[in-house]
């Protein structure tokens, strides 16, 4: 059975040539490109955390699309030209720009204080206090979508260790079922509902937004910094003297319905969100960072994260480009792949080749001259019809007489055989063996 026959296909009468590629070039290229793209995407998702499940879990953060979330505010600011980022890495909280914190009700106050304190000389910070207790909406409800919630009650935050001199109060506002109103920052509007309104109290609070009864719904912390834009729009003057011009403002929004998805359904609330951002010293094009770490989405840096983060991203791209070039060079290699030979071939040729290879590797070529001459003598004795009982000397003499009778000038067999047995070099062995073979053909035709 030949190698070509063993490669025969399942269809009768067809065969795939040895060394032929069973796949077309386009198929191989498509498989390689698709596999490489999926592998790189997997590494990117593992490193950045993107694509590993949805963040729209019904909680109060920048990717929450329920009534208590802030996805509408983030999307609105992004459309208004601000560089909005939703970060899940603590290292990104130290970047310049406005940081928006939306911690849950039972977050660690000391952790919030650590983040805010570290940013006082980096950029402004906006903290929105939580109010609503929410649960997932029944998915069987008509028109319900992922992330939607139903409000089940309200409560104020409990953050010991963060601004302990500032208090919050949850109470009703408005009478006779009328919607409560708010005013501030040159704007005014209504809250979605007035039975549970969250407000703040504290000696260092300078009101930016007040309710209709004067309670503070949003304020800037009067801490000795110089905040001219906020002071111009504040509802009361700052009492502290300026002690540090390098401080950035800390803005507190106590009533979350001013900025959450519940309130952002109104145009005046959207305008309030942009006004607060601009008054904090942020212009379109500047970063607005929405924190996700305090909401349980924090991720620590690892090698994969660094590989897809500047400045290491440049090295990663160079490695990927080098891999593409190597793959393309391999794809365009010259000619088809060489067909592999059998380790042990069929038939007498394999036996001879293996034996010759063994003798050559053992460096014992001089040992094969005598047996070869004896084998030629035996064939000549048989071919010339000489008696088989003749010894070596008499057999060689008879062969020499037969050769002299046919070609008197030919070199005798005995002389060539003796020279073959004495040879030590491969060249001399091969020459003598060829002369014996020619002599054999001359005597036996």
281 pLDDT exceeds 70? yes
Q: Are 203 and 241 in contact (CB under 8 A)?
A: no
Q: Report the C-alpha dihedral over residues 208, 211, 214, 215, rounded to 10 degrees.
A: -80
Q: What is the reported pTM?
A: 0.60
Cα dist. 284→77, 79, 271 in Å? Answer: 9, 10, 14
pLDDT at 280: 94
Question: Which of 133-137, 149-153, 431-435 is modeled with the greatest confidence?
Answer: 431-435
Question: What confidence tens digit (pLDDT) does each residue in 154-188 have?
Answer: 888 989 999 999 999 999 887 766 788 999 999 99
Look at 121-135, 178-192, 224-238, 299-313 and tell me which has the smallest mean pLDDT. 299-313
pLDDT at 11: 44
Average pLDDT of span 239-258: 91
Question: Which of 59-73, 234-248, 274-288, 380-394 is modeled with the greatest confidence?
Answer: 274-288
Look at 37-51, 93-107, 358-372 and tell me which has the smallest mean pLDDT. 37-51
Cα dist. 39→202, 316, 324, 421 in Å? Answer: 54, 14, 13, 67
6 pLDDT exceeds 50? no
The chain-wide mean pLDDT, for the chain, equals 83
Q: What percent of the chain has pLDDT over 90?
A: 34
pLDDT at 111: 93
What burial letters (b/e) apply to 55-82, b meaning 16+ CB within 10 Å? bbbbbbbbbbbbbbbbbbbbebbeeeeb
More confident residue, 28 or 11: 28
91 CB-near residues (< 8 Å, 6+ apart):
301
7 pLDDT exceeds 50? no
With bands split at pLDDT 50, 70 and 90, how would you rate the model's confidence at 362? Answer: confident
More confident residue, 273 or 345: 273
Strand pairing category for 98-101 and 287-291: parallel
Round to whole Å and give the CA distance between 191 and 258.
7
2 pLDDT exceeds 50? no
Please give the CATH topology (third level) of the domain spanning 47-136+146-300. Rossmann fold (3.40.50)
Question: What confidence tens digit (pLDDT) does each residue in 321-346 have?
Answer: 888 888 777 777 655 556 666 665 56
Report the sign of the C-alpha dihedral through residues 368, 350, 430, 386, in that order. positive
Round to whole Å and give the CA distance between 421 and 285.
96
pLDDT at 328: 78
Longest dimension (CA), the chain: 145
End-to-end Cα separation, the chain, in angstroms: 34
């Amino acid at each position: 059975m030949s190698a070509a026959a063993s490669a025969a296909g399942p269809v009768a009468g067809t065969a795939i040539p040895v060394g032929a590629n069973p796949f077309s070039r386009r198929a191989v290229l498509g498989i390689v490109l698709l596999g490489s793209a999926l592998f790189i995407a997997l590494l990117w998702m593992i490193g950045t955390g993107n694509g590993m499940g949805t963040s729209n879990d019904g909680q109060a953060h920048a990717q929450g699309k329920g009534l208590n979330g802030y996805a509408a505010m983030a999307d609105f600011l992004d459309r208004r030209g601000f560089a909005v980022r939703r970060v899940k890495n603590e290292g990104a909280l130290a970047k310049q720009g406005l940081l928006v914190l939306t911690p849950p009700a039972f977050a660690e106050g000391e952790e919030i204080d650590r983040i805010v304190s570290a940013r006082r000389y980096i950029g402004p910070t906006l903290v929105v206090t939580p109010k609503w207790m929410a649960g997932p909406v029944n998915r069987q409800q008509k028109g319900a979508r992922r992330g939607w919630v139903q409000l089940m009650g309200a409560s104020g935050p409990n953050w010991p260790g963060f601004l302990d001199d500032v208090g919050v109060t949850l109470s009703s506002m408005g009478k006779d079922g009328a919607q409560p109103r708010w005013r501030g920052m040159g704007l005014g509007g209504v809250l979605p509902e007035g039975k549970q309104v969250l407000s703040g109290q504290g000696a260092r609070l300078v009101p930016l937004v007040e309710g209709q009864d004067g309670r503070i719904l949003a304020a800037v912390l009067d801490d000795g910094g110089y905040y001219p834009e906020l002071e111009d729009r504040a509802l009361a003057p700052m009492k502290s003297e300026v002690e540090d011009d390098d401080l950035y403002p800390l803005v507190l929004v106590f009533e979350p319905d001013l900025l959450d998805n519940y309130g952002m359904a109104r145009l005046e609330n959207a305008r309030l969100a942009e006004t607060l951002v601009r008054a904090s010293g942020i212009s379109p094009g500047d970063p607005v960072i929405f924190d996700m770490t305090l909401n349980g989405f924090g991720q620590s840096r690892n090698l994969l994260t660094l590989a897809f983060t500047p400045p290491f991203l440049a090295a990663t791209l160079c490695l990927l480009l080098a891999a593409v070039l190597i793959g393309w060079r391999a794809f365009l290699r010259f000619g088809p792949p060489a067909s592999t030979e059998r380790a042990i071939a069929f038939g007498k040729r394999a036996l001879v080749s293996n034996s010759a290879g063994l003798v050559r590797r053992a460096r014992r070529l001089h040992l094969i001259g005598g047996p070869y001459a004896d084998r030629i003598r035996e064939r000549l004795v048989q071919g010339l019809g000489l008696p088989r009982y003749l010894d070596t000397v008499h057999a060689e003499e008879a062969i020499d007489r037969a050769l002299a009778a046919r070609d008197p000038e030919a070199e005798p067999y005995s002389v060539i055989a003796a020279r073959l047995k004495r040879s030590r070099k491969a060249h001399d062995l091969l020459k003598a063996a060829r002369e014996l073979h020619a002599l054999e053909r001359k005597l036996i035709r």
